[in-house]
Each structure stands twice: as structure tokens, then as C-alpha cells.
Amino acid sequence: MDILHDKLSALYNSYNDVIKPLIADIESKYQKFPDSIFNEIRAFNDHVARCYITNITEDKANEEIKKAESHIVRIILDCYKYLAMWLHDYFEKFKANFDITLIDNGEFAPYFYNTQLKGIRTLREAKQNESYNKQIAYDKYQEAYNIYSELYIKIENYLPRIKWAKKAWIYKLKENALLIIISAVVSAIVSAIIPWNDLFNWLKSLF
């Protein structure tokens, strides 16, 4: 049973070292625990529990371990998937809120768009392979998560500059709105004056 113990230790190491931090990240971002991941964890523990059934054969125990391993892989894949999708939506909302070219004198925007595009392409590859090659999907979801995490951390570090850029953007909007109002008022005044000039010239022509 030493081999069984080693295999179970490896599974729980994966759970503690990889899955638990990812789940904590998911809960902090979604403020809830996804049902699909909960069901995978329950199935994983069910297969592990079967390894301790009285008089279980070594072959049967190994079979249960393999099934438990597959659930561990699925849990990690789903964690990366959920986090990558959350970050993707976060970046879409982030760039829609204001003009990001105002950040850091325009130097941040190219980095943002290039990194986001790289993440989108990787995420698309992950989705395309999810039904055909789970290992590739697993690797691609992990890669997309890492790409997006780098961009997320960059944004967090740029918060003071982003705050300034948002203020500059709002000021610019107000300035443009004021110019539009002034232009409208001037146009209205000019439109009102011109007919009176025409009337004055017509009356003048009568005398």
C-alpha cells in the first residue's frame, strides 16, 4: 500500500499547492464557488474514498486512483478557465470605461492591447481544443490565465496613473461638451440675427 500512499500524496499535493490557491482566487473574483468545480471535487474525493474500501484489490485501487487523477486535471482546467474568462471580461470593461491612451502618455495602451490580443488568441485555442484534446486545452487555459494575470498585475501597479487618466478623460469630456454648447448657442444667435438683417434691408429698400 506504500505505492497507493505515494499516489494519493501526489494527488493531495496537487490539490493543496495548485487547486486551493486557484479556488481562493476564483472566490475572491466571483464571490461564489462554481458548481462545476464543486462537483469535480466531490467526485475526486469519492474515488479516493473507494481506495479504502475493505478488501479492495490493488488493481481496483489503481483504477480509482486514475479516475481521481482525471478529476484533479479537470478541476485545474476549470479553475484556469473560470479565471481566464473573468479576467477577459474585466479587461473588456476596463478599456470601455475611459480612453486608456491617456495612461502614461500613451505608452500603456500598446502594451495593453497587445497583451489582451495574445490572451484572446490563447483563450480561443483553449476553447477549440476542449472537446478534442484536453491536454492542449489545459495548457492553453493555463497560458491564457498567466498572460491575463500579468496584465492584471500591471493594471494594479498602474492604479495611480489610471486614476489620473480617468480624471483627465472626464475633464476632456466636460470641455468638449462645453464647446458643443457654446457652438450651439452661437449658431442659434447667428440664425436669429440673419433674418432680422434681411428684414432691415427689405424695409430700407422701400424708402
pLDDT in tens, 55-83: 888 889 899 999 999 999 999 999 998 99
Distance CA 77, CA 182 (A): 57
| pLDDT of amino acid 186 | 55
What is the pTM assigned to this prediction?
Answer: 0.74
Q: What is the dihedral of CA 93, 19, 39, 46, to 10 degrees?
A: 180
C-alpha cell at 81: 478557465
| pLDDT of amino acid 6 | 85
| pLDDT of amino acid 79 | 93
- Amino acid 62 reads N
Q: Which of 97, 83, 91 is nearest to 170 (CA)?
A: 97
Residues whose CB falls within 8 Å of the CB of residue 88, separated by 6 or more in sequence, listed in order: 119, 120, 123, 148
Low-confidence ranges of the chain (pLDDT < 70): 1-2, 164, 168-207
| pLDDT of amino acid 56 | 84
